[in-house]
A and B are shown apart, each in its own frame.
Chain A
Amino acid sequence: MNYNVNEKGYYGVFGGAYIPEMLYPNVEELRQNYLKVMAEPDFQKEFQQLLRDYVGRPSPLYFAKRLSEKYNTKIYLKREDLNHTGAHKINNTVGQILMAKRLGKSRIIAETGAGQHGVATATVCALMGMECIVYMGEIDIARQAPNVARMKMLGATVIPALSGSRTLKDATNEAIRDWINNPVNTHYIIGSAIGPHPYPDMVTRFQSIISEEIKWQLKEHEGRENPDYVVACIGGGSNAAGTYYHFLHEESVKIIAVEAAGLGVDSGESAATSILGKEGIIHGCKTLLMQTNDGQITEPYSISAGLDYPGVGPMHAHLCKTGRAEFMSATDDEAMKSGLELSKLEGIIPAIESSHALAIFEKKKFKEDDIVVVSLSGRGDKDLDTYINYFKL
């Protein structure tokens, strides 16, 4: 079984490029060039150097001793939270801005939900001196004021998405409309492993540094490259894609994806796409998405803005359908509890997204000598308000 994208842009039946003709030249230009550009030694040199000197890679693979003792198994945390800007998102934006430069683009657009991808995009635009426009749902702008301020400090223009439900899905629609209106000079930096081909593959490749590092770091720790499990939370699925990438075809490595169940999978307030979703088309790709019987895309819910997306990347839809990955979910309450637990046991305050991945230890029993690597995709600073309100701190 092949879990990578095929030459037509599909992962099994998922993927493709379901885009209006207006976007075809842009997406086609990218499709024809992205692998070529990424293979250039000059590109690789600049990318690797920025990952090291600017992002602060490699991020540590940390053996979480007290957490391991509690759950009687061996838990390693991949510390993406220690990256510049506080999450894995920067790996992709560094890669894409270098791509945009080589394609001769001068203007960058992006969508953002909680603001992490927006901040990571604004950051690399400042670094490269490029114009940056970030679309963000009007409702998200109100709930994520510090990240809006960060983007502004970094020189970006933040445009509120006023259509539809005024959240991430609509911010993505607005970014796509901007791209339609500016087809020549603009590159769209998509933040997740979604969108028309080649975006899911390109984002996955830029994020694959995560699993590349896990391999050699685990070898140092344990004398072996492959863990028994890799675990990541999934919204669109960029940190998960990067965490899984180099293990996809290692049969001994089991893959666990953790979705946000919100108030409960059956509560009507959830973002567990693999359970609630059906095959359909969202933002240019065929994948699993939450929709009505009539094919209208519905609004998900999660306490974590980064997992609050009605679809899932096409690679993940394929991993789910083929059974290569085990899909689990964690509710708001379970995630919040795990976030607090990690803070107290290890002195690490995780992003609420990442807390979802940690919540599986209460739900699944691992063997004492299992090695479980969890992607700690982001830090909890941005979520402090939510933690304060939830725990009445």
Chain B
Amino acid sequence: MNRINQKLEESKRLLSIYFTAGYPNLNDTVTIIQNLEKSGVDMIEIGLPFSDPLADGPTIQASSTKALQNGMTSEVLFGQLKNIRETVKIPLIIMGYFNPILQFGVEEFCKKCSEIGIDGLIIPDLPVDVYNDQYKATFEKYGLVNVFLITPQTSDERIRFIDSISNGFIYMVSSASVTGSQSGFGEEQTNYFKRIEKMSLDNPQIIGFGISDNTSFTQATEYAKGAIIGSAFIKHVTSFGINDVDKFVSKILKA
């Protein structure tokens, strides 16, 4: 069983952290992953940087630009992660835009992920129908979970379809926005969370975008299995470096 599916069966609410690989320094990747696991994070999204990240706000864009300047590529990332499973047990997901993966070769990319022990992929600009027609079989061959996004504007019918072709969790974008553009949730969002909760989907949901602290994490996990934090973590790393991640995580989780 894939580590993501195992993790989703645990009874706790899950905290997933996104970071951009190659930021702040090219070779921080493994240390960040190890520190996040030690500090109690349940799942990690490793961001493969892209020159034109359409769905991301200024924080993740800037970290991606820096990471590319530092020399990050798919090849370099796979090299850094080669022995990651000797030390890290929690699920690891690579999040990246489709063009770098397409240039690497989709099958080759999946194969590498599987060899290293990457459990899943999130590719925001790979459309559901293209995945279903052309790549689903490849992902399944290498045992990878592919994660799709839904938003407040996604119709119930489409959510049902996305649920039917998902095999891990559904990434619930909290509001109509790019990453890092808001904090806290209003009534509109909680109504959307409730609507999705009532649909009783086969795949659990994890909420992302707009989660930055204990309040928004608690709010989100009232309705969903877990929550994802990206921009707020990158800001923390920018200010405090990569050795203090437990301070960030404990503030989010504070019991």
Contact = CB atoms under 8 A, between A and B. Distances in A.
Interface of A: 16-22, 24-25, 163-164, 169-170, 173, 176-177, 180-184, 278-284, 291, 293-298
Contacts of A284: 54, 125
A296 B125 contact: no
A294 B176 contact: no
Contacts of B126: 18
Contacts of A298: 51
B88 interface: no
Given A21-B149, A21-B173, A22-B55, A295 B104 contact: yes
Interface residues of B, number: 42
Contact of B151 (A17, A22, A280): A22
B102 A183 contact: no
Given A21-B151, A181-B177, A169 B52 contact: yes
Given A18-B126, A18-B130, A183 B153 contact: yes
Contacts of B51: 164, 296-298
A282 B65 contact: no
A367 to B, nearest CB: 43
A280 B127 CA distance: 15
Contact of A293 (B52, B103, B124, B155): B103
Contact of A180 (B62, B75, B155, B176): B176
A171 to B, nearest CB: 12
Contacts of B154: 21, 24-25
A170 B58 CA distance: 12
B124 A173 contact: no
Interface in B11-55: 50-55
B130 A21 contact: no
B124 A21 contact: yes
Interface of B: 50-55, 57-58, 61-62, 65, 68, 73-75, 97-104, 124-128, 130, 148-151, 153-155, 158, 173, 176-178, 181
A297 B177 contact: no
A283 B125 CA distance: 10
A173 B52 CA distance: 7
Contacts of B127: 16-19, 24
Given A24-B154, A25-B153, A281 B54 contact: no
Contact of A282 (B73, B99, B148): B99
26 contacts: A17-B127, A18-B127, A19-B127, A21-B149, A21-B151, A22-B55, A22-B151, A22-B173, A22-B177, A22-B178, A24-B154, A163-B61, A173-B52, A176-B54, A177-B55, A181-B177, A182-B176, A183-B151, A282-B99, A291-B99, A294-B100, A294-B103, A294-B104, A295-B99, A295-B103, A297-B52
Given A177-B178, A180-B178, A296-B51, A21 B103 contact: no
Nearest to B154: A21
A164 B53 CA distance: 10
B186 to A, nearest CB: 15
Contacts of A24: 127, 151, 153-154, 158
B176 A183 contact: yes
Going nearest first, the 9 A-B pairs with the smallest beta carbon separation are A295-B103, A295-B100, A21-B149, A296-B51, A294-B73, A25-B153, A20-B55, A20-B124, A295-B99
A284 B125 CA distance: 8
Contacts of A282: 52, 99
A88 to B, nearest CB: 26
A22 B149 contact: yes
A270 B151 CA distance: 39
A283 B101 CA distance: 16
Contact of B65 (A22, A25, A164): A164
B4 to A, nearest CB: 19
Most chain B Cβ neighbours within 10 Å, of A173, A284, A296, A298: A296
Given A25-B153, A180-B178, A294-B75, A20 B99 contact: no
Contacts of A281: 97-99, 102, 125
Nearest to A170: B52
Nearest to A297: B51
Contacts of A184: 153, 176
B177 A180 contact: yes
Given A21-B124, A294-B73, A164 B52 contact: yes
A20 B52 contact: no
Nearest to A280: B99
A68 B61 CA distance: 51
B54 A173 contact: yes
A183 B153 CA distance: 8
Contacts of B73: 294
Contacts of A177: 54-55, 57, 178
Contacts of B178: 22, 177, 180-181
Contacts of B124: 20-21
A312 to B, nearest CB: 15
Nearest to A180: B178
A260 B53 CA distance: 26
Most chain A Cβ neighbours within 10 Å, of B75, B154, B155, B176: B176
B99 A22 contact: no
Most chain B Cβ neighbours within 10 Å, of A18, A176, A183, A293: A18
B106 to A, nearest CB: 12
A344 B183 CA distance: 61
Contact of A18 (B58, B62, B98): B98
Contacts of A16: 127, 130
A21 B100 contact: no
A249 to B, nearest CB: 28
Nearest to A172: B52
Nearest to A289: B99
